[in-house]
Amino acid sequence: MLCRKPRSLCSLPPRAQHQYSRWVTVRVGVIGGGQLARMMIPAAVNLGLELDVLAEIEGSSARLAATEVGDYRDAETVLRFAETVDVVTFDHEHVPEQILRQLVAAGHSVQPGPDALRFAQDKLQMRRRLGELGVPMPDWAEVQNEDELAAFIADHGGEAVIKTARGGYDGKGVRLVRDAAEAADWFTALSEDGRGGSLLAEERVDFRRELAQLVARRPSGQTALWPVVETVQRRGVCSEVFAPAPGTSARVAELAASIATLIATELGVTGVLAVELFETSDDRLLVNELAMRPHNSGHWSIDGSVTSQFEQHLRAVLDLPLGDTGVRAPVTVMVNVLGGPATGTLADTYPHVFADQPSAKIHNYGKEPRPGRKIGHVTVTGDDLDTVVFQARAAAALLGADLSDGSGS
Amino acid sequence: MLCRKPRSLCSLPPRAQHQYSRWVTVRVGVIGGGQLARMMIPAAVNLGLELDVLAEIEGSSARLAATEVGDYRDAETVLRFAETVDVVTFDHEHVPEQILRQLVAAGHSVQPGPDALRFAQDKLQMRRRLGELGVPMPDWAEVQNEDELAAFIADHGGEAVIKTARGGYDGKGVRLVRDAAEAADWFTALSEDGRGGSLLAEERVDFRRELAQLVARRPSGQTALWPVVETVQRRGVCSEVFAPAPGTSARVAELAASIATLIATELGVTGVLAVELFETSDDRLLVNELAMRPHNSGHWSIDGSVTSQFEQHLRAVLDLPLGDTGVRAPVTVMVNVLGGPATGTLADTYPHVFADQPSAKIHNYGKEPRPGRKIGHVTVTGDDLDTVVFQARAAAALLGADLSDGSGS
């Protein structure tokens, strides 16, 4: 029998458990035990909320809050977990849609719900829907075979970005191709899959820079936006974030905000929505990707905003009034730590990084180091962009982050 | 047999546990499950440290991190707990000195150690030691009976503040008396105790305001100070804190800093030390009390400083380089929430307080409401003192804090 949380009460008789329930009011359930769930823990502690995590493995990043270990693709596991909490939300977007619909049918609060999440889970559905809304995007097409892809490539200067419709993140399931044959394996996998899927082909945007606009939305409709930020990717993975995006005109900032608000509202997203944007050399904004969860481009907000994306996500999924999204400093820079130090653990570097950069805020995800893996990030706030960038990169380098761009190394 | 942390690994076979130990490097043990231990959890999560708490009760404020429930006055309980962690520190100062000495003798790292803690545990020892160091203090005397107290009262304008040497906090064990007979019960208790104790008598200081100077110190000697803050007490309990203390001259700030640094260094304090000070109407500083743990007067630092007192405490007890103690905003105000709303829970007020004060940072300790009990605090940062004070008090009032001064109510 599943014990009603908090865990430490499970050994008490039922009547004693009840007397504690007077002040244990709200339980937020998170499916997925990665660092996004982990980083919700501090906000939950601050607000006196109970955070319960359904983790995939023992020893997950969010293990402190894990109450269940199980497979999010198993309907019974997820339904049983949902019974233990007051609202279900997510550390990732991979919970199968039909399981989410079962949760909703069973009367659970699922935030964001499946009607919104399908546009984060399926890039083709996302492109179609945003197209209906008139949201600016790269030129794109659904391609079902190599011939259609070849035609798209020919129409777009001899190259295209191709993406699998489902399952991609951190650069996985994305390729830049010049020949349709480079997609052969993906088309083969799709036909063997038997569900008749397609690939998404997009023009390669010659962008000046990449931006991210994060917005939080409550079920009752209130939205709150952080300033638009600039993101730098390396090898398809987020590497650095500058908040606010330096040198951004009011027009671009308002455009990013209105795009994100439109998407959040029209798609019925609740919690945090991250809209990844290309800024072209002629000042246009094009929507690249959506994520319906706290996002790497928002980690800066833990130390750099009055309300972190994690606290905001919890407020939003509970339909509580949203917090102030103002910045705490003129400049905040976040640098990802991928892989970690060559020898030893992240914590082994602390005597060095703490001494070298006393104002750097370290976020260690408690994950096993592996090349290219996101194991932490570091954030610095301050008044001057160059200084803050230097400090953040110095700290990240001492933490073992590989800051090379991958070219020729 | 006690399972080695993390808790979620306890069900795994020993070999599997070992493979996780590669990145679970440091375990900090906290004796005491109150809100001070609770507020260390976010810092531990951020830094990837394991925080294990020996709590007095099930359902304690720090229950999320509690790995043991037991009596801190039982040597075997404390020794067994110490075996599970790499360093032992405290949420309170009541662990008996001889148990601490047993921990040290057994080779455990105890921060702060008993040689320092005795000056937080025994106010008479503290007065004597600070007197040896030439630290400015109110006039004081050890009084063993009503006659000695009467003489002290007569010498000090007909009144005195009397304190029990051990066990007082939040205004408990402190009285303002005009007649030695008002201490009769305390003297009786002391003589019945059989250990021949005394009371501490102090002049009543006509202070302009109360200040608090917090400093952190590592075993290897590095110290770091936050700006001196102003504290407002109501009914002997901290009510409001203004950081930095408004209108403080450089001379007073430097004096407070040097007093705290001297005390921390000479007493060998590690972790956070809070020095509570009286500022007299003629600009003298007098040391009132010491606390060798994170302190109510430092809660503002969670949202208002680059390094919170809780993160700093963890760094310090692990002998890691200390973090930047700069402020994140010109003004930070913290207001305590005592008791809570007349009906319902603290979280029931969230729809109101969040909407009314979106920039207020709520800290809910997850404790059962009880009149006068510290169940949370709220912090606001900003540029203008009057605005920030208003916002913090407004939020606290909506959270059910009783902000009256207790006179005539």
ipTM of this model? 0.92
Task: Tell me which chain A residues have a C-beta less than 8 angstroms from the C-beta of B20.
Answer: 59, 368
Task: Tell me which chain B residues have a C-beta less than 8 angstroms from the C-beta of A355.
Answer: 321
| Distance set, CA B106 to CA B69, B110, B271 (Å) | 22, 11, 21
Chain A residues 135-194 within an 8 A CB cutoff of chain B: none
Please say whether the beta carbons of A397 and A352 come within 8 A.
no
What pLDDT, on the 0 to 100 scale, is given for residue A345? 87
Chain-chain contact of A45 with B42 (C-beta, under 8 angstroms): yes
CATH placement of domain A27-110: 3.40.50.20
Of A8, A58, A366, the CB nearest to B12: A58
Query: Which one, of A186, A185, A229, lies nearest residue A210 by Cα?
Result: A229
The Cα B206–Cα B278 span in angstroms is: 9
Chain-chain contact of A362 with B8 (C-beta, under 8 angstroms): no
Confidence of residue A155 (pLDDT cuts 50, 70, 90): very high
Strands A174-177 and A160-164, how do they pair? antiparallel
Mean pLDDT computed over A167-181? 87
Strands B66-69 and B50-55, how do they pair? parallel
CATH placement of domain A139-203: 3.30.1490.20
Domain spans, chain B: 27-110, 139-203, 207-399
Which residue in chain B is spatially nearest to A65 when comparing CA positions? B64
- The fraction of chain A above a pLDDT of 90, given in percent, is 84
pLDDT tens digits, one per residue of A226-274: 999 999 999 889 999 999 999 999 999 999 999 999 999 999 999 999 9
The Cα A42–Cα A263 span in angstroms is: 29
Task: Tell me which chain A residues have a C-beta less than 8 angstroms from the C-beta of B326.
Answer: 359
Chain-chain contact of A46 with B42 (C-beta, under 8 angstroms): yes
Cα B45–Cα A314–Cα A237 angle in degrees, nearest 5:
65
What pLDDT, on the 0 to 100 scale, is given for residue B406? 52
Q: At how many degrees (to 10) do helices B97-105 and B114-121 cross?
A: 170
Does B46 reach chain A within 8 Å, measured CB to CB? yes
SS3 label, residue B347: helix
Min Cα distance B206 → chain A (Å) is 37
3-class SS letters over A231-246: EEEECCEEEEEEECCC
Min Cα distance B120 → chain A (Å) is 28
Task: Tell me which chain A residues have a C-beta less than 8 angstroms from the C-beta of B347.
Answer: 23, 25-26, 47-49
Which residue in chain A is spatially nearest to B21 when comparing CA positions? A368
What pLDDT, on the 0 to 100 scale, is given for residue A191? 87
What pLDDT, on the 0 to 100 scale, is given for residue A25? 63
| Distance set, CA B97 to CA B100, B113, B118 (Å) | 5, 9, 7
SS3 label, residue A190: helix
Does A376 reach chain B within 8 Å, measured CB to CB? yes
Chain-chain contact of B358 with A49 (C-beta, under 8 angstroms): no
Chain-chain contact of A359 with B323 (C-beta, under 8 angstroms): yes
What pLDDT, on the 0 to 100 scale, is given for residue A342? 82
Mean pLDDT computed over B293-320? 98
What pLDDT, on the 0 to 100 scale, is given for residue B235? 87
Lowest mean pLDDT among A210-224, A330-344, B162-176, B345-359: B162-176
Predicted confidence (pLDDT) at residue B13 exceeds the cutoff of 90:
no
pLDDT tens digits, one per residue of A378-391: 999 999 999 999 99
Q: What would the DSSP string read from start to end of A328-387? A: SSSEEEEEEEES--SSS-TGGGHHHHHHH-TT-EEEE------TT-EEEEEEEEES-HHH
- The fraction of chain A above a pLDDT of 70, given in percent, is 92
Mean pLDDT computed over B229-250? 96
Confidence of residue B20 (pLDDT cuts 50, 70, 90): very low
Of B20, B39, B364, the CB nearest to A47: B364
Which residue in chain A is spatially nearest to B304 when comparing CA positions? A328
Classified by CATH at the fold level, domain B207-399 comes out as D-amino Acid Aminotransferase; Chain A, domain 1 (3.30.470)
Please say whether the beta carbons of A293 and A36 come within 8 A.
yes
- Residue B368 assigned as binding residue: no
pLDDT tens digits, one per residue of A252-261: 999 999 999 9
A387 or B6, higher pLDDT: A387
Predicted confidence (pLDDT) at residue B123 exceeds the cutoff of 50:
yes
pLDDT tens digits, one per residue of B191-205: 888 777 899 999 999
What pLDDT, on the 0 to 100 scale, is given for residue A21? 44
SS3 label, residue B230: strand
Does B222 reach chain A within 8 Å, measured CB to CB? no
Lowest mean pLDDT among A13-22, A173-182, A379-388: A13-22
pLDDT tens digits, one per residue of A124-151: 999 999 999 999 999 999 999 999 999 9
| Distance set, CA A178 to CA A168, A188, A206, B173 (Å) | 20, 18, 15, 80
Lowest mean pLDDT among A278-292, B170-184, B301-315: B170-184
Does B20 reach chain A within 8 Å, measured CB to CB? yes
Single-letter residue type at B134: G
Of A45, A60, A368, the CB nearest to B22: A368
The Cα B387–Cα B333 span in angstroms is: 10
The Cα A316–Cα B262 span in angstroms is: 47
Predicted confidence (pLDDT) at residue B225 exceeds the cutoff of 80:
yes
Does A377 reach chain B within 8 Å, measured CB to CB? no
* Partners of A122 in the β-ladder: A166
Burial of B280 (0-12, 13-18, 19+ CB in 10 A): middle
Confidence of residue B25 (pLDDT cuts 50, 70, 90): low
Predicted confidence (pLDDT) at residue B124 exceeds the cutoff of 80:
yes
- Residue B203 assigned as binding residue: yes
Chain-chain contact of B321 with A355 (C-beta, under 8 angstroms): yes
Strands B237-243 and B229-234, how do they pair? antiparallel
Does B387 reach chain A within 8 Å, measured CB to CB? no
- Indicate if A207-399 has the same CATH topology as A139-203: no
What pLDDT, on the 0 to 100 scale, is given for residue A16? 41
Of B48, B307, B346, the CB nearest to A48: B346
pLDDT tens digits, one per residue of A103-126: 999 999 999 999 999 999 999 999
Of A320, A323, A366, the CB nearest to B23: A366
pLDDT tens digits, one per residue of B360-388: 999 999 998 889 999 999 999 999 999 99
Does A220 reach chain B within 8 Å, measured CB to CB? no
What pLDDT, on the 0 to 100 scale, is given for residue A24? 52
Q: What would the DSSP string read from start to end of B116-179? A: HHHHHHBHHHHHHHHHHTT-----EEEE-SHHHHHHHHHHTTT-EEEEESBS--TTTTEEEESS
- The mean of the pLDDT values for chain B is 92
Predicted confidence (pLDDT) at residue A10 exceeds the cutoff of 50:
no
Does B98 reach chain A within 8 Å, measured CB to CB? no
Predicted confidence (pLDDT) at residue A1 exceeds the cutoff of 80:
no
What pLDDT, on the 0 to 100 scale, is given for residue A405? 59
Task: Tell me which chain A residues have a C-beta less than 8 angstroms from the C-beta of B302.
Answer: 46
Confidence of residue B24 (pLDDT cuts 50, 70, 90): low
What pLDDT, on the 0 to 100 scale, is given for residue A233? 95
Q: What is the CA radius of gyration of chain B?
A: 22
Please say whether the beta carbons of A86 and A27 come within 8 A.
yes
What pLDDT, on the 0 to 100 scale, is given for residue B168? 73
- The fraction of chain B above a pLDDT of 70, given in percent, is 92
Mean pLDDT computed over A45-68? 96
Query: Which one, of A324, A330, A332, lies nearest residue A300 by Cα?
Result: A332
What pLDDT, on the 0 to 100 scale, is given for residue B3? 34
SS3 label, residue A140: strand
SS3 label, residue B329: coil
